[in-house]
């Protein structure tokens, strides 16, 4: 019934449990994770002076040299890649604006109601749904998609997307959301919290990546990170709570004389052949009128802004907590790489994805991340039976050897 391989595996598991639970720096409660998506942080913004919140994250945790977005370096495609580990063609969120001819539906960004139609999201399963399916309660704040029943499930708590421009106190509300997550962590109720933060992207668009307003927005976010780390220490949760800060893409200053070439779409496409044109800027989707497909199809202009060419599209990743090493900087990551370490520190099985485990395996600390796995193992009904059986067999073998 039991092969030698299974026996050795269980022996290893037992040793791991003993090792992990003798490590005093690790909480015995299941570790929890806060994932913050701060939109539009270019990888080199954090070279600004005095960003002590990020500095403290780096000293006590890990960071990537930079993170390479998927193409196109826009919000929705990269948001869904962060939480699924999949490229756009696999998760289905290929742009901020889309048209689905099968459903005859336009995807327009939240708060537009079309963004909440489940068929846009059902191409993949975001990590908050995977976590809920593993029995982990999840609270999501302003991260678009949390309001959608994806593959039949919703997170325990969701506060839907809120536009930055009509929001009175985004910084105060973000801090309060983080504290609310900590309250639920302390009660050992929720195990995962996700927070979306838009200010840096909004200022980068409105005033430019080099503007004073953008610099100040990074400083404000850095203060939130300081407050969060102070609060975690005040509540003595530093060995129980992971903080992960990621972003979706960078930003480039528009300068027609230097780095930008304007293309007037009307010079290449006859507007009479176009049924719908979605988006503008770096990429545009054109839906040709019936029978005009061949005429229009060559005009998908993807000039510049391809993240593989334009380094200004690169972004950041910082993390600290029991699941991560301290003071460690990795090489570059791909946006598809976040998903695997998120699942690892949450202790859940990742879905098939496009991430490379080798890119992130050195982030994780041996003890903290293993705890999540072992606790989820011990919560697994099939193993609940196997562990005692293995221990009994193990004793029989030891007794047998003694004779």
Ligand X SMILES: *[C@@H]1O[C@H](CO)[C@@H](O)[C@H](O)[C@H]1NC(C)=O
Applying the rule CB under 6 A, the residues between 109 and 138 that interact with ligand X are 114, 134-135
In the complex with ligand X, which residue's Cβ is closer, 14 or 299?
Answer: 14
In the complex with ligand X, which residue's Cβ is closer, 40 or 92?
Answer: 92
Question: Does the footprint of ligand X cover residue 305 (CB under 6 A)?
Answer: no
In the complex with ligand X, which residue's Cβ is closer, 87 or 305?
Answer: 87
In the complex with ligand X, which residue's Cβ is closer, 257 or 382?
Answer: 382
Question: Does the footprint of ligand X cover residue 30 (CB under 6 A)?
Answer: yes
Applying the rule CB under 6 A, the residues between 339 and 398 that interact with ligand X are 349, 352-354, 375-376, 379-380, 382-383
Minimum CB–partner distance for residue 371 and ligand X (Å): 11
In the complex with ligand X, which residue's Cβ is closer, 134 or 295?
Answer: 134
In the complex with ligand X, which residue's Cβ is closer, 233 or 259?
Answer: 233
Question: Does the footprint of ligand X cover residue 257 (CB under 6 A)?
Answer: no
In the complex with ligand X, which residue's Cβ is closer, 247 or 354?
Answer: 354
Task: With H, G, I as helix, E, B as strand and everything else as coil, classify residue 50.
Answer: coil
Applying the rule CB under 6 A, the residues between 36 and 75 that interact with ligand X are 49-50, 59
Question: Does the footprint of ligand X cover residue 327 (CB under 6 A)?
Answer: yes
Q: Where are the alpha helices (DSSP H) in 208-308?
A: 212-234, 293-296
Contacts 24+ apart (CB under 8 A), 337-342: 337/67, 337/85, 338/67, 338/81, 338/82, 338/83, 338/85, 338/244, 338/246, 339/81, 339/82, 339/83, 339/84, 339/85, 339/86, 339/127, 340/85, 342/33, 342/35, 342/83, 342/127, 342/244
Pairwise CA distance, residues 27 & 25, whole Å: 7
Minimum CB–partner distance for residue 251 and ligand X (Å): 19
Is it true that the peptide bond before 72 is cis, omega within 30 degrees of 0?
yes
Question: Does the footprint of ligand X cover residue 86 (CB under 6 A)?
Answer: yes
Task: With H, G, I as helix, E, B as strand and everything else as coil, classify residue 150.
Answer: strand
Q: Interior CA angle at 196 toward 195 and 197, to 5°?
A: 120
Pairwise CA distance, residues 169 & 354, whole Å: 37
Strands (E), 77-155: 98-100, 105-107, 137-141
Task: With H, G, I as helix, E, B as strand and everything else as coil, classify residue 378.
Answer: helix
Question: Considering CB under 6 A, how many residues would be counted as binding ligand X?
Answer: 24
Strand 32-38 to strand 190-197: parallel, antiparallel, or no bridges (unpaired)?
Answer: parallel
Q: Which stretch binds ligand X (CB under 6 A): 85-93, 160-168, 257-265, 395-403?
A: 85-93
Minimum CB–partner distance for residue 273 and ligand X (Å): 21
Applying the rule CB under 6 A, the residues between 91 and 110 that interact with ligand X are 105-106, 108
Question: Does the footprint of ligand X cover residue 400 (CB under 6 A)?
Answer: no
**Residues of this chain that bind ligand X (CB under 6 A):** 30, 49-50, 59, 86-87, 90, 105-106, 108, 114, 134-135, 327, 349, 352-354, 375-376, 379-380, 382-383
């Amino acid at each position: 019934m039991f092969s030698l391989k299974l026996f050795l595996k269980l022996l290893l598991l037992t040793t791991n449990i003993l090792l992990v639970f003798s490590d005093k720096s690790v909480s015995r409660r299941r570790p929890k994770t806060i994932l913050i998506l701060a939109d539009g942080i270019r990888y080199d913004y954090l070279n600004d002076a005095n960003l002590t919140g990020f500095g403290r994250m780096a000293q006590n945790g890990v960071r990537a040299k930079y993170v390479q977005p998927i193409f196109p370096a826009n919000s929705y495609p990269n948001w869904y890649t962060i939480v699924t580990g999949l490229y756009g063609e696999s998760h289905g969120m290929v742009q901020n604006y889309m048209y689905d001819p099968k459903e005859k539906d336009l995807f327009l960004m939240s708060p537009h109601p079309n963004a909440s139609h489940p068929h846009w999201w059902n191409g993949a399963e975001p990590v908050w749904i995977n976590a809920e399916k593993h029995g982990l309660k999840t609270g999501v704040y302003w991260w678009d998609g949390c309001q959608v029943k994806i593959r039949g499930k919703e997170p325990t708590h969701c506060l839907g997307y809120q536009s930055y421009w009509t929001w009175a106190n985004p910084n105060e509300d973000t801090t309060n959301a983080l504290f609310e997550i900590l309250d639920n962590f302390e009660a050992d109720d929720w195990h995962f919290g996700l927070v979306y933060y838009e200010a840096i992207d909004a200022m980068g668009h409105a005033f430019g990546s080099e503007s004073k307003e953008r610099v100040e927005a990074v400083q404000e976010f850095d203060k939130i990170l300081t407050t969060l780390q102070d609060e975690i220490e005040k509540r003595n949760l530093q060995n129980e709570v992971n903080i992960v800060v990621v972003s979706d893409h960078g930003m480039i200053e528009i300068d027609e004389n230097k780095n930008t070439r304007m293309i007037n779409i009307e010079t290449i496409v006859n507007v009479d052949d176009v049924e719908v044109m979605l988006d503008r800027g770096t990429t545009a989707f054109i839906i040709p009128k019936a029978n005009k497909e061949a005429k229009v199809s060559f005009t998908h202009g993807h000039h510049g802004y391809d993240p593989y060419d334009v380094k200004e599209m690169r972004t950041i990743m910082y993390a600290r907590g029991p699941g991560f090493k301290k003071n460690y900087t990795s090489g570059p990551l791909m946006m598809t790489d976040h998903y695997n370490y998120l699942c690892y520190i949450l202790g859940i099985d990742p879905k098939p994805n496009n991430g490379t485990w080798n890119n992130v395996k050195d982030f994780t600390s041996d003890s903290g991340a293993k705890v999540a796995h072992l606790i989820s193992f011990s919560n697994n009904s099939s193993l609940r039976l196997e562990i005692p059986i293995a221990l009994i067999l193990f004793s029989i073998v030891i007794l047998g050897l003694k004779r």
